[in-house]
Structure formats: C-alpha cells, structure tokens
Amino acid sequence: MSLLVGIVGAGPAGLLLGRLLQRAGIESVVFESRDRGYVERRQRAGILEQGTVDTLRAAGAAERLDREGIPHDGIDLVFDGAAHRVDFLGTTGARVWIYAQTEVVKDLVALRLGDGLPLLFDTEVHAVTDLDGRPRVHHDGGTLVCDYVVGCDGFHGVTRGLVPGPVHERAFPYSWLGILADAPPVHHELVYAHSRRGFALASMRSPSVSRLYLQVPNGESPDAWPDSRVWTELEHRLADHRPHRGPITAKSVLPMRASVAENLRNGPLFLAGDAAHIVAPTGAKGLNLAASDVTLLAAAFDQLNRTGSPALLDAYPRTALHRVWRAQHFSHFMTTTLHLAPDQSEFDTHLQLARLRHLTASRAATTALAENYTGIAL
Ligand code: RFL
Ligand code: PHB
C-alpha cells in the first residue's frame, strides 16, 4: 500500500508534516498560496518546546537549530514592580528554545526543495471535493487526486470550512502591539510583565534582535505608537528590565483570540495547526501545537501505511484535542493573569497579583507553570 497525502499550506504544520511523511516513506504534495519569500519572512512565533525540538531533531531538520537556537531554562515574571524568576529546568528538567518560526520554515523549505519533493508556491487551493471517496484538491495549477488531504492552511484557509461542526471561540478585550528592533534583548530570558499600565513581553530573535510586545486596546492603529512612545511605555511596564533602544524594523497590531474546532475530520480530510485551533500567544503554544498535531498525524499515516490499521488515524481528533485544550487552558491562564481587562476592578487586579505571588513563591505552582510552558509530553 502506498499513500499520497495532499497538504494544503506551507506553514510550520504543512512543512513539518511533509518532512515526517517523507521519513516514513509516504508521498505528499504541499500547496502554498503565497510565494517562498513571504512564507519565510512572516514574523510570528519564537519559542520551541522541548518536544518540538525533539521532533525536528528526529526528522533530521535541526542542524541549524542545534547551532543557533538559544536554550532558555526559565522566564522572569514582573509584577509588583519587580522581577521574579520562574525556573523551568530545576523544577521539571525541561527547557525551551528561542528559534524563530521564520527559521524553522526556512530550514524545512530548504530540505524539501533540496530533496526534490513537490512544494508548490504561488498555488492556491480553492476547494477539496469528493470527501466521500478519493479526495480531489483543486488548485491554481489543476486538480490532484489523493488518498488523504491535511488542511494546514491556517486560520484564514479554505479547509476549516469543509469540516462541519461547532467552533468554540473566545475573543479577548485587548490586542498586542508587536515590534522587532535591532537592539540586544532586554534580558537573557523572556520577561512577561504585569503592570498597572497593561501587559508587556520582552522576547528576542538573536543576541542583537529584540522582539517586544505591549498590550494595547482592540482596534488600535500602529500609527498611534511612534517609536519613542513604544520605548517609553516598555520602560514603564518592564520595571527593572530596562530595554536597550534601537531602530524598530517592524511594528504591527495583533488581535488576541482563541478558537477550537470540535471536529478535526471529514472523511479523508483532516485539520492540523492553526486551521484547527488558535490560542492567545501569551502561552507560546501555537507553533508547538501545530508541531504536535502533525507528529500525531504522521505516526497515524505511518501505521496505516505499514500495517493497514486506521486505529491511530481514527483516534487523531480526540488525541489531538486533549492536548489542544490543555494548551488552550494554559494560554487563557497566562493571558488573564497578566493582562488588564478594560473593565477590570481593583478586586480583579489584587486577585491577579495574589496568583502571581503564589506562582513564584510556591514550588508546586512554579512546577505546574513550568510543565505547561515547556510542554507536556505527547
Ligand atoms: P500558518 O503558519 O498560518 O500557515 C498556513 C499556511 O497556509 C497557507 N494557505 C494556503 N495555501 C494554499 N491554499 C490556500 N487556500 C491557503 N490558505 C492559506 C498560508 O499562506 C500559510 O503559509 O499555520 P500553521 O502551519 O498551522 O502554523 C501555526 C503557527 O504559525 C502559529 O500557531 C504560531 O505562529 C502562533 N504563535 C506562536 N506560537 C508558538 O508556539 N510560540 C510562540 O512564541 C508564538 N508566538 C504566534 C506568536 C503567533 C503570532 N501571531 C502573529 C498570531 C506570536 C504572534 C505575534
Ligand atoms: C515571541 O518571541 O514572538 C513570543 C514569545 C513568547 C510568547 C509569544 C511570542 O508567549
């Protein structure tokens, strides 16, 4: 038995799935509506969990990650005007890596093209039909008949709408202003700050590039944030962690929302990654969930291909969704603990502060945070 899997979307989910299927001897074709440069430059996630790194290593896609990725053994939580460290390695033995999504994508694209496997840029998929038999992928260049199709086409893709069933959603009453700056990171680890002026996050892309976020009201325009205002506000919110100022090279506003499709399958069509669910970025989970979804799917296709058993494939929606809801809960916890809601009372703020003090004072609470942040094993 030899399978052909159509993969819609060349983000981290689609590219990693293609790589894992290749390692299992299963053919796939990846369709991507955008061009290569766009996909490789899209600024997004920065944190890889231990399990994501393990998967990339096992897939032979971690050579540069192992050289350039920056391991982090904890984070700083700023509240009450001071920084408090949360130790991941000491409590759980696990860590995370700073290695940007752009770099993961570049590595996987280079491997796939280097191996001469089909990765069709500038090729939009318009529909997937025949979901009661052999599915047909209708794309800019024609039609491909496959055995299975995996929708890895993100939150704005076409496949989400082809899987009927409820979608559970939450919109948060604030957004993030994200900037990229040619400036050394604020601190050697990430800093998540709760303040009376709102949330701030100091991350990084390299020893000379900072990635910084500020909570802003929904509907805010980046034009309301000239560079000097961004730096001054970061200085207020990050307390002792004074940012190094440098040229700001990108600035955008991102809505904060969460969504989970209750159903991840329609016959031979499966959903994975942001096509299936999105999480608020405060927990750094989106890219890691995309990786764990496709790790499960690749193992399921491998089982089917080798033994003819669809057991893992049939189990995929349930197995994946348990992990998704764990991450969803953690992201919600981080988000609501650290942001100030527009209608928040003084009572609410004191509850947040009590939660933050407990998170850093109790080893049990620190361990729970560390377990969730570094990722619960598949
Ligand atoms: P993607 O990356 O959106 O890729 C989907 C791809 O599908 C293409 N596409 C189509 N192709 C063909 N035909 C069609 N009809 C198509 N429609 C769409 C798109 O062009 C695109 O290339 O989804 P994927 O692969 O599921 O990956 C998900 C991640 O990108 C996402 O979850 C993370 O970026 C979320 N996220 C973070 N995740 C983390 O794990 N750690 C983090 O630190 C983190 N930080 C973040 C984030 C997301 C952010 N934003 C912008 C929402 C920080 C931010 C600011
Ligand atoms: C990032 O580096 O872009 C980043 C890191 C941690 C988050 C969200 C985004 O929680």
* CA 61 – CA 21 distance, rounded (Å): 13
* 46 and 117 assigned to the same domain: yes
Q: What is the pLDDT of residues 175-211, one digit of tens each?
A: 999 999 999 999 999 999 999 999 999 999 999 999 9
Beta bridge partners of 177: 214, 253
Q: Is the domain of 247 the same as that of 111?
A: no
Within 10 Å of residue 74's Cβ, how many Cβ atoms? 21
**What tokens does 285 get?**
């989970």
Residue in 17, 44, 53 to alter for ligand 1 test, most ligand atoms within 8 A of Cβ: 44
Same domain, residue pair 219 and 161: no
Could you tell me if the CB of 153 is within 6 A of ligand 1?
A: yes
Catalytic residues: 72, 192, 281, 285, 373
Decide: 158 in ligand 1 pocket, CB within 6 A.
Answer: yes
Question: Residues 6 or more apart from 378 whose CB is under 8 A from it?
Answer: 51, 292, 295, 296, 323
Q: Which residues are CB-neighbours of 12 under 8 A, at least 6 positions away?
A: 101, 104, 105, 108, 273, 287, 290, 291
Q: How many domains does the chain have?
A: 2
What's the number of CA atoms in the CB half-sphere (13 Å) around residue 337? 21
Give the tens place of pLDDT for each residue, 210-247. 999 999 999 999 999 999 999 999 999 999 999 999 99
Shared-domain flag, residues 26 and 161:
yes
Residue 200 located in a structural domain: yes
Ligand 1 atom at minimum distance from 124 CA: 13
Q: Do residues 34 and 119 make contact, with C-beta atoms less than 8 angstroms apart?
A: no
Domain region containing 151:
4-71+97-168+258-334
The pLDDT value given to residue 43: 84
Render pLDDT for 42-91 as a digit per residue (tens, 0 to 9). Answer: 988 889 999 999 999 999 999 999 999 999 999 999 999 999 999 999 99
